[in-house]
Amino acid sequence: MNRKSQSKSTPSRFGRTTLDDKRARVVRCIRGLPTGKVSSYGALAKAAGWPGAARQVVRILQQVQGLPWHRVVGAGGAIKLSGENGAEQRFRLRMEGVTFRGARVDMKRHEFKFSKGKPPRGKRTRS
């Protein structure tokens, strides 16, 4: 099987996960953030099994609609968005009960700690 005929959604013959699999894990991790908790771009990437991919997390947040984007902050709780977007993020977080220490989220109180195991799964519905 040559590289061009491989689908992005199937694992390669070398056992590597594909880009679509990584993106799906990042999306699951973002959706798994509970109300009143936040995570950093880098911590989300690491929890999804894609360490060092903080910029890819930013890109996924820009591309996928309906994610709780306001719960994702920079390292140390910094709001990385500027202008009205940053003000909206602060507003949404305050509405969820998140407190700030100066301009940064109080990460000691509100950082979500991902489990060491598998990334969180999407919400299950009963049949």
- Return the CATH number at 94: 1.10.10.10
Q: 118 lies in a domain? A: no
* Cβ–Cβ < 8 Å for 103, 9: no
pTM score, two decimals? 0.77
Residue-level pLDDT at 105: 97
Predicted local confidence at residue 121, as pLDDT: 59
What is the phi-psi region of residue 96: left when phi exceeds 0, alpha when psi lies from -120 to 50, beta otherwise? Answer: alpha
Residue 91 belongs to a domain: yes
**Distance from C-alpha of 82 to C-alpha of 36, rounded to nearest angstrom:** 21
Domain span at residue 26 reads 18-110
Give domain status of residue 69, yes or no.
yes
- Report the pLDDT value the prediction gives residue 35, as an integer from 0 to 100: 96
- pLDDT per residue rounded down to tens, the chain (127 residues): 444 444 444 455 555 558 888 999 999 999 999 999 999 999 999 999 999 999 999 999 999 999 999 999 999 999 999 999 999 999 999 999 999 999 999 999 999 998 876 555 555 545 4
Residue 4 lies in a domain: no
Which candidate, 60, 52, 55, places its Cα nearest to that of 23? 60
From the CB of residue 52, how many other CB atoms can be counted at a distance below 10 Å?
A: 9
Domain count along the chain: 1
